[in-house]
Structure 1
Amino acid sequence: MSKPTTTTSKITLGTISMYGALFFLALFFLMPAYMAIVTALKPPAEINLSTAWELPSKFHWSSFSDALSLLKSNIISSVILTVCATTLSTVLGSLNGYVFSKWKFKGSEFIFTLFLFGMFIPYQVILIPLFQTLRAMNLYGGLPGLILAHVVYGLPITTLIFRNFYSQIPTALIESARLDGAGFFSIYTRIVFPLSIPGFVVTGLWQVTQVWNEFLWGICLTRHADNPITVGLAQLAGGQAVSWNLPMAGSIMAAAPVLLIYIFLGRYFIRGLLAGSVKE
């Protein structure tokens, strides 16, 4: 029997140059993160421009506890906002995608096209009409109004993702369920929903990232008591005499949830994006 042949990749000058360039670009990209961590671990007396890049002489861990005490209410508001807005927008987007892919009706393609227009409308364009609408509905200033805004703004992308995902489910499967007497919600809960986990992972991660990191609506549509974490960070860094260790520690705590989510669930995000993208 002949031995299987193995191929070995040769290390060339081009490969070394490419990886070297990528290494330095990665270092350049991580410079702000290094600056934030180093500054957060310094006492205020050691923070100055001349020693900005130096490691602290002694780790000042109390910066994180102090920042947490100042941003506690903002973190709670962001958690409530993110969980509620993400849950509602993904569930409603799933139902919309289910309708537009398997329960088509006259004019459904036109309505779906109108849905997609919402993806290309910038936040700034609709800020004033959104403010007037929420005030007319007596929802301005609190989290319910901000949750509603994020749910409505997130529906186009979640609907698009779920529609493309559900289009790969065989229509014969849905028709068989109809012949067996299953209705709209029965088919969704017993057949479609169990197959939707990759789609929920993608839309959930996308919405968590968008809602958690959003700043403009948070500062314009909520009062001080309900400001999210992004607004709290801006207020923490605002002023003439700023203890920069506190904003840096707060920024690390604000970035940590999304960062950890992508570290542990990033592979599922990629799988969900690819699910249904290739027809067999």
Structure 2
Amino acid sequence: MHSSSTSQGENGLGRWLIYGVLALMALVYLLPLFVMLVTSFKTGTDIRTGSLISLPQEWVTDSWQAAWGTACTGVTCDGIKGYFWNSIKMVVPAVLISTFIGAFNGYVISKWRFKGSDLFFSLMLFGCFLPFQLVLLPMAAMLGKLGLANTTTGLVLVHVIYGVAFTTLFFRNYYINVPDELVKAAKLDGAGFFTIFWAILLPISKPIIMVTIIWQFTSIWNDFLFGVVYSGADSQPITVALNNLVNTSTGVKAYNVDMAAAIIAALPTLFVYFVAGKYFVRGLTAGSVKG
């Protein structure tokens, strides 16, 4: 009895120790976000006289208004609102197109195997490991020949091409766990190639669709390299604007404006995670990264 009580006590102590370490790590991880948030509501005087983690003496939203509409990002002082909408116009079609192509590719590779399908999938998988820098010149040449250089449409095309390898991998590994008998039964009932895809596989693909959308949205929204290389003055995404904002200064550095702009830029990805986060975990555990 004494031994059992001691064991339970040790287990309880170990559990609380784990919880304590996890809580500490969470605080360390969230500290930069806390600093950004409180700094964005500080006045310039508060920033100069207080510490990084001190709360504002006076809570103001001037920096948020400036970041959105009047902050200088290079030679223009119109804030980041235009670049924010540029990113929306780039991310939404790129995510939807790459997700659909990935679903279709995954369906074909997993359920309609053809000669060389394994080699095709291996080549697609190899595309996941290609660094961004390797495709800069070929992509630039292609966009120039298509007349899409320095345009939002060109950025959409670039992100679709680069992202298809990942989306195909996700859907292929999800569909490979769907019983082949389901597809065979549909064929016996007269269902064709596209009917099986639209009526059978897509309706059961919600978890992996959410995984892919979150992955693609986050990757494309946060991308800087493609944005700075392939965009023009009127098509630059939010990440490029943030870089220009931070590196543009006249007089005293406005850290509160920089922090507000950074949080505004992060809000869409946070929103996507809050809305679809549970599907992300469900999709991962359903086999989206196995196989």
Q: Within 5 Å, give how 1:79-118 maps onto structure 2.
A: 79-118=88-127
Match of 1:197 in 2: 206
Match of 1:75 in 2: 84
Partners of 2:179 and 2:14 in 1: how far apart?
47
Q: Supply the AA of the counterpart residue of 2:275.
A: F
Q: List alignment gaps of at least 5 residues for structure 1.
A: 1-6
Match of 1:258 in 2: 269
CA RMSD of aligned residues (A): 2.2
Q: 1:39 to 1:167 in 2, by over 3 A?
A: same
1:20 and 2:20 equivalent?
Answer: yes
Partners of 1:47 and 1:236 in 2: how far apart?
18
Residue from 247, 256, 265 that aligns with 1:245: 256
Q: Supply the AA of the counterpart residue of 1:264.
A: V
Q: How many residues align?
A: 273
Larger CA deviation: 124-133 vs 188-197: 124-133
Deviation at 1:197, TM superposition (A): 1.1
Match of 1:268 in 2: 279
Q: Supply the AA of the counterpart residue of 1:262.
A: Y
Deviation at 1:196, TM superposition (A): 1.3
Partners of 2:111 and 2:49 in 1: how far apart?
61
Deviation at 1:8, TM superposition (A): 6.8
Q: Within 5 Å, give how 1:73-222 maps onto structure 2.
A: 73-222=82-231
Larger CA deviation: 88-97 vs 152-161: 152-161
Deviation at 1:263, TM superposition (A): 2.6
Residues 183-218 of structure 1, C-alpha deviation per residue, up to 9 Å, x if partnerless?
A: 211111111111111111111111111011111111
Residues 99-156 of structure 1, C-alpha deviation per residue, up to 9 Å, x if partnerless?
A: 0011111111101100001100111221122222211221110111111111111111
Partners of 1:225 and 1:278 in 2: how far apart?
38
Partners of 2:226 and 2:148 in 1: how far apart?
13
Deviation at 1:49, TM superposition (A): 7.2
Deviation at 1:248, TM superposition (A): 0.4
Match of 1:4 in 2: none
State TM-score, norm by structure 1. 0.90
Larger CA deviation: 83-92 vs 178-187: 178-187
Q: List alignment gaps of at least 5 residues for structure 2.
A: 1-6, 70-78
Partners of 1:199 and 1:43 in 2: how far apart?
45
Native 8 Å contact 2:170 2:289 kept in 1: no
Q: Within 5 Å, give how 1:2-21 maps onto structure 2.
A: 12-21=12-21
Deviation at 1:182, TM superposition (A): 2.2
Q: Supply the AA of the counterpart residue of 1:66.
A: A
Deviation at 1:260, TM superposition (A): 2.6
Partners of 1:99 and 1:88 in 2: how far apart?
17
Deviation at 1:277, TM superposition (A): 6.6
Partners of 2:14 and 2:184 in 1: how far apart?
56
State TM-score, norm by structure 2. 0.87
1:225 and 2:231 equivalent?
Answer: no
